[in-house]
């Protein structure tokens, strides 16, 4: 860790005011940043996320818990002393989010969606490296459909930026028992390849074999291409959850790539994914997602069911400028439609309906749980949504949707291919 002492004093040279490695965001002078931030805020709002602001300094040990002891975000921390206590400037936002989830005293009885973002800084070879991160976190009672929707939200965000060539890789790391079985098998494989690996991976063979999957060195990647995958070690529940997730992604028409050797960060559980783009002639990871339940417990929290995605807006900004692209922004509006899916098949079909409505510029409130039609229609009224769209098992099979005027209670049935136009008509567009 890089330890710095902070002192106050006059600056004798104005050129020193701008610290090398830092950057400013002035949206009135940078249309790409303005559009990027507006698009992210718009999609976060449309998908039902509420803003969480996180502190700029935390306990240094948190970054080892969140990212692992050997991660660059841990080893490049800027640490200072405040009132006799060591504090670190945040090098990433995930540890703060995990700490916050661990401190939740009362688990809310419904799904909670949080979005966060902000600048982060670390030191590398005595130079500052700054970034602007974004993240989405869902926690509470949810299933694979909610995970698919989080991934769908960031996918649509990227597409709206004119980046349809993003590579979407997805895998699972199962539950604890699946991981234990897989790690034992992977360790045996690595021992037989020990002298073909870099020194760091060879050293991690016994203690942290998954690190070899995360290594970016070409020699190690070549060795790991023949490594066993966790897909052969999943229990029945983990396998079913992953299969259901892939089916949901197909329903959303997201062109994913199954990546059986994708490991995610240390401590992840369940679904893991990453999104990659070309930048400066190289393929870079611009966003990652994984289950955070085990990590929250590592921070001393309860068994909170959590899934999150995080990425770099700075990297996206660089890519937009490199490609000469511009994005469009639009004002955020309150929810206009309330989705009421009833049952697993209807909920899965509603993923596509949600996506189609959002693409048409309609703001939608969704709940993919199973609270019952009466409770959901009451919630639609409380939310002030003028329209509720109801879909049960029969409607899902018949490819129809029930449109209900929330205020009057009047209902009509429309075929799926006409429902979006009907909603736009009812909204007076």
Locate 65 and state its tokens. 């818990």
Whether residue 341 is contained in a domain is answered as yes
* Integer Cα distance of 403 and 418 in angstroms: 11
Do 286 and 376 lie in a common domain?
no
Whether residue 292 is contained in a domain is answered as yes
Do 90 and 226 lie in a common domain?
no
What pLDDT, on a 0 to 100 scale, did the predictor assign at position 94?
96
**For the chain, which residues score pLDDT lower than 70?**
1-16, 105-109, 325-334, 367-371
Do 401 and 310 lie in a common domain?
no
**Which of 323, 347, 366 is a domain's end point?**
323
Do 312 and 389 lie in a common domain?
no
Do 131 and 51 lie in a common domain?
yes
For residues 365 and 383, the answer to whether their CB atoms sit within 8 Å is: yes
Do 274 and 415 lie in a common domain?
no
**Which of 214, 230, 246 is a domain's end point?**
230
Whether residue 199 is contained in a domain is answered as yes
Q: Count CA atoms closer than 13 A to 209's CA, side-chain side.
A: 24
Do 36 and 142 lie in a common domain?
yes
Do 225 and 137 lie in a common domain?
no
Got the DSSP string for 219-274? HHHHHHTTS--GGGG--HHHHHHHHHHHHHHHHTT--EEE-TT---STT-EEEEEE
- Number of structural domains (the chain) is 3
Do 87 and 124 lie in a common domain?
yes
pLDDT tens digits for 303-348?
888 999 999 999 999 999 988 865 554 444 568 999 888 888 888 8
Whether residue 170 is contained in a domain is answered as no
Whether residue 331 is contained in a domain is answered as no
User: Is this prediction's pTM over 0.75?
Assistant: yes
Do 314 and 412 lie in a common domain?
no
Domain hosting 130: range is 20-164+258-323
pLDDT tens digits for 178-191?
888 888 998 888 88
What pLDDT, on a 0 to 100 scale, did the predictor assign at position 360?
92
What pLDDT, on a 0 to 100 scale, did the predictor assign at position 308?
96
Locate 380 and state its tokens. 């639609």
What pLDDT, on a 0 to 100 scale, did the predictor assign at position 326?
56
Residue 128 CA: distances (Å) to CA of 21, 23, 89: 5, 11, 11
Whether residue 10 is contained in a domain is answered as no
Do 293 and 344 lie in a common domain?
no
CATH number assigned to the domain comprising residue 413 = 3.40.50.800
What pLDDT, on a 0 to 100 scale, did the predictor assign at position 2?
53
pLDDT tens digits for 40-90?
999 999 999 999 999 999 999 999 999 988 888 998 999 999 988 999 999
**Which of 323, 356, 380 is a domain's end point?**
323
What pLDDT, on a 0 to 100 scale, did the predictor assign at position 381?
81
CATH number assigned to the domain comprising residue 299 = 3.30.930.10
10 Å Cβ neighbour count for 350? 27
Whether residue 106 is contained in a domain is answered as yes
Whether residue 12 is contained in a domain is answered as no
Do 197 and 154 lie in a common domain?
no
């Amino acid at each position: 860790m890089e330890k710095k002492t902070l002192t106050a004093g006059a600056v004798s040279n104005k050129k020193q005011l701008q610290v090398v490695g830092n950057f400013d965001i002035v949206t009135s002078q940078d249309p790409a940043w303005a559009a990027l931030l507006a698009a992210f805020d718009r999609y976060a709002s449309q998908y039902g996320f509420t803003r969480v602001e996180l502190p700029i300094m935390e306990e240094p040990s948190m970054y080892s818990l969140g990212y692992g002891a050997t991660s660059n975000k841990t080893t490049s921390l800027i640490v200072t002393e405040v009132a006799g206590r060591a504090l670190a400037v945040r090098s990433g936002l995930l540890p703060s989010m995990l700490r916050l989830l661990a401190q939740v005293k009362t688990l809310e009885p419904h799904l909670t969606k949080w979005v966060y973002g902000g600048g982060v800084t670390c030191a590398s070879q005595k130079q500052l490296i700054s970034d602007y991160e974004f993240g989405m976190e869902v926690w509470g009672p949810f299933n694979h459909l909610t995970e698919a929707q989080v991934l769908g939200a960031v996918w649509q965000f990227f597409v709206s930026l004119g980046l349809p060539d993003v590579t979407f890789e997805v895998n699972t790391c199962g539950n604890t028992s699946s991981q234990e079985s897989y790690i034992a098998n992977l360790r045996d494989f690595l021992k037989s390849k020990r002298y073909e690996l870099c020194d760091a991976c060879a050293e991690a063979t016994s203690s942290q074999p998954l690190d070899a999957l995360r290594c970016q060195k070409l020699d190690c990647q070549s060795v790991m291409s023949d490594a066993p995958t966790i897909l052969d070690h999943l229990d029945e529940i983990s396998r079913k959850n992953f299969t259901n997730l892939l089916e949901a992604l197909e329903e959303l028409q997201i062109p994913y790539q199954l990546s059986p050797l994708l490991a995610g960060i240390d401590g992840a559980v369940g679904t893991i994914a990453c999104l990659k783009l070309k930048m400066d002639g190289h393929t870079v990871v611009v966003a990652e997602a994984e289950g955070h339940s085990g990590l929250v417990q590592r921070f001393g929290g309860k068994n909170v069911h959590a899934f999150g995605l995080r990425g770099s807006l700075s990297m996206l900004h660089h890519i937009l400028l490199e490609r000469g692209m511009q994005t469009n922004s639009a004002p955020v509006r309150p929810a206009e439609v309330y989705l009421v899916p009833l049952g697993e098949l209807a909920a899965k079909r509603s993923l596509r309906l949600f996506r189609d409505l959002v693409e048409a510029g309609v703001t939608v409130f969704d709940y993919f749980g199973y609270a019952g039609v009466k409770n959901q229609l009451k919630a639609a009224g409380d939310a002030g949504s003028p329209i509720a769209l109801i879909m049960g098992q029969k409607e899902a099979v018949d490819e129809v949707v029930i449109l209900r005027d929330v205020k009057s209670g009047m209902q009509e049935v429309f075929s799926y291919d006409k429902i979006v136009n009907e909603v736009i008509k009812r909204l007076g567009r």
